[in-house]
Structure 1
């Protein structure tokens, strides 16, 4: 989804100059607070992905000895595969190898809501070597009605990711810049009808959100960086690792803005220790999705 500009305003004059000056300082501060990530986009063309290429929803790499996964709901739905050799290098993440993600074919895409949440209802596979030919095929009876995403070839490029407002240190949230941004760049129409904008609102919508005019910051689908949720962050609860633990890293996030699906405007994640995954250890992988 392309970033949208702040509302239509006439150029020129002192007010415009003030807005541009504040916007410039905002960009600079955000760049200091951002973390590198890999942006994940669905290709705009219909070119087929090679068997070991990064892709969404179809075209899973199936070498000899790796059949299509089946669970109690039948053949699982293929979500995505990421070939890390195609991705820009990200510190601590694999530089090669192929990650696959499947979910159970049911009305919650395999996610449970008890103590097992995040640990069942999905499958992550890791291929350190992808030199063997892909010989398997997707079964005819995969129930694509329960697939959480669309399909197509994926493009992996460098990006920057911003934390949620609540993830910022308290001293950063107290910086006067955020209130200045709120006063100068916030929606005056909302203020006129009695809605009091807070710095958090402007941060989430105009700095970090889909309304951001700051090209380069990745809102949705990504490898690494900071996660986005439509509801709450599950990390630190139940079987999910703490947000700041290595196992709480965003291994892969697929947002409906780029991937489609995930219910009503939702987003899905795999969390894991990326260095462990690079060594073929998938025991830390946890699964989550939510929607509005």
Structure 2
């Protein structure tokens, strides 16, 4: 693959690597997977279509996140799933608090009452999120991958020849398809990229990976059969801090 280095490097873009570490006594405004969410006193708890309180799967405080465009420099983003069926891609919410109160826990503006949490079949352990900046090339499961290299037919031959040399069983490992928790960069899919699979309902405007959450057994996260979940947004709307139009998808083997 060395002869294709320049082609691959031309696709490299920055992303934010996300790591989860089990932690207790997290503050309501901390970046986390699961746990007690930040809610101002005048904010209604998000509810699903069935009326049940939703499940907080992730909370990102942008004050903790490396600065890459077009992510906000501050504010708190929350990802909510249906408490009864977290894999329902039609029943989720993404909420954004541009101003975050970080006073003492007794502050009238911060809700810390755990009784407001929904009842769900997930571990009650929360995980602190840490962030670091990286760079990555386009993944082989991104719908733009083949278009990117279509003018170099030997690229695919060389890629899969090297892939087979490095893997005893085709399908083990992932060539140019890195799975991990991340913000930005390129997504990785077990099956296919949903943004372009249906020509009549293409969502290729959702060009920014707002959050990828990989299967993470150590942290109690499992998408079907060891799958991966994604939240996408258009870069234009992200730059305007408009989180009203999000694509949520997940796939598994």
Measured against the shorter chain, the TM-score band is 0.7 to 0.9
SS of the residue 1:82 aligns to: strand
1:51 and 2:10 are equivalent in the alignment: no
Q: How does 1:159-174 map to 2 (within 5 A)?
A: 159-161=134-136, 162-164=138-140, 166-170=143-147, 172-173=149-150, 174=152
1:144 to 120, 123, 142: 120
Rounded Cα–Cα distance in structure 1 between residues aligned with 2:247 and 2:80 = 12
Can you give the 5+ residue segments of structure 2 that lack an aligned partner in the other structure? none
SS of the residue 1:33 aligns to: coil
1:251 and 2:210 are equivalent in the alignment: yes
Paired position in structure 2 for 1:208 = 177
Paired position in structure 2 for 1:123 = 93
In the TM superposition, what whole-angstrom CA distance separates every residue of 1:25-69 from its partner, at most 9, and x where no partner exists? 6766544322211111112x5354332121001131112212432
Q: Which moved more, 1:260-269 or 1:136-145?
A: 136-145
1:98 to 55, 64, 76: 76
Asked whether the 8 Å contact 2:149–2:155 carries over to 1, the reply is no
In the TM superposition, what whole-angstrom CA distance separates every residue of 1:60-111 from its partner, at most 9, and x where no partner exists? 1112212432331522111111111211111122121110011112235332
Asked whether the 8 Å contact 1:253–1:267 carries over to 2, the reply is yes
Rounded Cα–Cα distance in structure 2 between residues aligned with 1:123 and 1:60 = 13
Rounded Cα–Cα distance in structure 1 between residues aligned with 2:31 and 2:118 = 20
Asked whether the 8 Å contact 2:35–2:56 carries over to 1, the reply is yes
Paired position in structure 1 for 2:42 = 65
Answer 1 or 2: which has greater helix percent.
1
Paired position in structure 2 for 1:284 = 245
Paired position in structure 2 for 1:268 = 229
Provide TM-score, normalisation by structure 1. 0.68
Provide TM-score, normalisation by structure 2. 0.78
Q: CA 1:163/1:149 → structure 2, altered by over 3 Å: closer, same or farther? A: farther
Rounded Cα–Cα distance in structure 2 between residues aligned with 1:91 and 1:189 = 36
Rounded Cα–Cα distance in structure 2 between residues aligned with 1:253 and 1:239 = 25
Q: CA 1:278/1:60 → structure 2, altered by over 3 Å: closer, same or farther? A: farther
For the aligned residue pairs, the C-alpha RMSD in angstroms reads 3.4
Determine which structure has more spread, i.e. the larger CA radius of gyration. Answer: 1
Can you give the 5+ residue segments of structure 1 that lack an aligned partner in the other structure? 1-21, 112-119, 210-218
Rounded Cα–Cα distance in structure 2 between residues aligned with 1:240 and 1:37 = 27
Q: CA 1:136/1:248 → structure 2, altered by over 3 Å: closer, same or farther? A: same
Q: CA 1:276/1:33 → structure 2, altered by over 3 Å: closer, same or farther? A: closer
Rounded Cα–Cα distance in structure 2 between residues aligned with 1:137 and 1:171 = 50
Rounded Cα–Cα distance in structure 2 between residues aligned with 1:241 and 1:131 = 39
Q: CA 1:59/1:278 → structure 2, altered by over 3 Å: closer, same or farther? A: farther
Deviation at 1:160, TM superposition (A): 2.4
Q: CA 1:157/1:171 → structure 2, altered by over 3 Å: closer, same or farther? A: closer
SS of the residue 2:174 aligns to: helix
